[in-house]
């Protein structure tokens, strides 16, 4: 369980994180989303006591991280920037951390095997690829079998196989009853793994919700249906919670229903259907809508081009 109460971090004039209050519960994967520069990494460092909040506080388990007698058991973390001495071997790095808590050597070996670094364990980290470095960071996070796992952009630099491995790992960690808090700037990635979402932009909390609710509130899950008998199908499908909008004479946009129900209804009444398309690709768009005003360095690609066109 992670709790943040009014977490605020200022560097001089610049407020990086402002009054963040949220709770991360055990047993599920919670995604921590926001554009680059939104303050995700700073927040995570504050959770771990690496950065001191300007105001507010955070607890992991029942107390702030630094107050745990065995901090690595309370929370294991993969931080955004590499925090590994490149001159040490993977095993040497993990052993050094393990010694601080009295964690036995076999646990280090077990965690090396778990992240798939078995063959590279005694090589110096200097020669590791980005993905291997990421796996070592995750091994360090899991070292003490922690109740809470905090991972900052874990899929960065991983190949597709590695990305899938992370997804499964996160889900299994949550299924074991752990609190799993994972940051990402990719909504699509989080939609596949997380159940809960904490979304921030420019250091402020934008949403604290479930993936399901986020999808519903964003008006996603809309199904586009093309049929010559649009009016009739509309009447048949109408009901509480179902939201139907016309889009041209033959086209309906139906929210709050599902493809199976629409298809069966149409079939039962012999209504021909030319197209039945779930419109789900825009999860990323909904996230971008939400964070549009909060992007630190937005890219202006279209607007200036049009302006130039008009001027010419």
Structure tokens at 208: 């604290």
Judged by phi (left if over 0) then psi (alpha if -120 to 50, else beta), residue 157 lies in left
* Closer of 88 and 114 to another protein (Cβ): 88
Of the candidate spans 77-85, 193-201, 248-256, 293-301, the one that interacts with another protein by CB under 8 A turns out to be: 77-85
The reply to whether 123 sits near another protein by the rule CB under 8 A is no
- Which of residues 91 and 294 has its CB atom nearest to another protein in the complex? 91
Q: Could you say which of 62, 159, 258, 285 contacts another protein (CB under 8 A)? A: 62
Q: How many CB atoms lie within 10 A of CB 92?
A: 15
Q: Shortest distance, CB of residue 95 to another protein, whole angstroms?
A: 6
Q: Is 254 exposed, middle or buried (0-12, 13-18, 19+ CB in 10 A)?
A: buried
Closest CA to 16 of 55, 48, 49: 55
Instruction: Pick out residues in 166-205 that bind another protein (CB under 8 A).
Output: 175-179
| Alpha helices (H) in the chain, listed in sequence order | 40-47, 71-74, 90-101, 105-114, 130-142, 160-175, 187-193, 211-217, 230-237, 259-268, 283-291, 302-311
Q: Which is nearer to another protein, 40 or 291 (CB)?
A: 40
- Contact call for residue 73 and another protein (CB under 8 A): yes
Rounded Cα distance, 10 and 219, in Å: 35
**C-alpha span between 181 and 289 (Å, rounded):** 23
Site map (CB under 8 A) of another protein, residues 127-166, x = contact? -------------x---xx-xx------------------
CB of residue 157 vs another protein: minimum separation in angstroms? Answer: 15
Of residues 101 and 279, the one with the C-beta less far from another protein: 101
For residue 138, what are the CA distances in angstroms to 112, 281, 305?
10, 30, 44
Give the interface with another protein as residue ranges (CB under 8 A). 1, 3, 5, 25-27, 45, 48-52, 57, 59, 61-74, 77, 79, 81-89, 92-93, 95-97, 99-103, 140, 144-145, 147-148, 175-179
């Amino acid at each position: 369980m992670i709790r943040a109460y009014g977490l605020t971090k200022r560097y001089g004039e610049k407020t990086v994180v402002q009054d963040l209050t949220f709770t991360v519960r055990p047993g599920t994967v919670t995604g921590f989303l926001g554009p680059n520069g939104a303050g995700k990494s700073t927040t995570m460092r504050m959770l771990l006591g690496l950065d001191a909040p300007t105001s507010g506080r955070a607890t992991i388990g029942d107390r702030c991280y630094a107050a745990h007698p065995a901090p690595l058991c309370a929370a294991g973390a993969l931080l955004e920037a590499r925090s590994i001495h490149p001159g040490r071997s993977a095993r040497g790095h993990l052993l050094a951390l393990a010694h601080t808590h009295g964690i036995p050597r076999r646990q280090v070996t077990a965690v090396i095997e778990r992240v798939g670094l078995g063959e590279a364990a005694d090589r110096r980290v200097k020669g590791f690829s980005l993905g291997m470095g990421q796996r070592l960071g995750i091994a360090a996070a899991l070292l003490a079998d922690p109740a809470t796992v905090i991972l900052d952009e874990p899929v960065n630099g991983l190949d597709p196989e590695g990305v899938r491995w992370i997804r499964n790992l996160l889900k299994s960690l949550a299924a074991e009853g752990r609190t799993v808090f994972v940051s990402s700037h990719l909504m699509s990635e989080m939609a596949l793994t997380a159940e809960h979402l904490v979304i921030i932009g420019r250091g402020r909390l934008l949403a604290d919700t479930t993936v399901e609710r986020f999808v519903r509130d964003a008006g996603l899950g809309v199904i586009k249906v093309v049929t010559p008998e649009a009016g009739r199908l509309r009447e048949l499908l109408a009901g509480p919670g179902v939201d139907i909008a016309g889009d041209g004479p033959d086209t309906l946009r139906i929210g709050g229903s599902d493809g199976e129900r629409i298809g069966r209804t149409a079939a039962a009444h012999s209504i021909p259907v030319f197209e039945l398309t779930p419109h789900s690709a825009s999860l990323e768009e909904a996230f971008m809508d939400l964070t549009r005003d909060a992007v630190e360095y937005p890219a202006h690609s279209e607007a200036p081009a049009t302006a130039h066109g008009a001027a010419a």
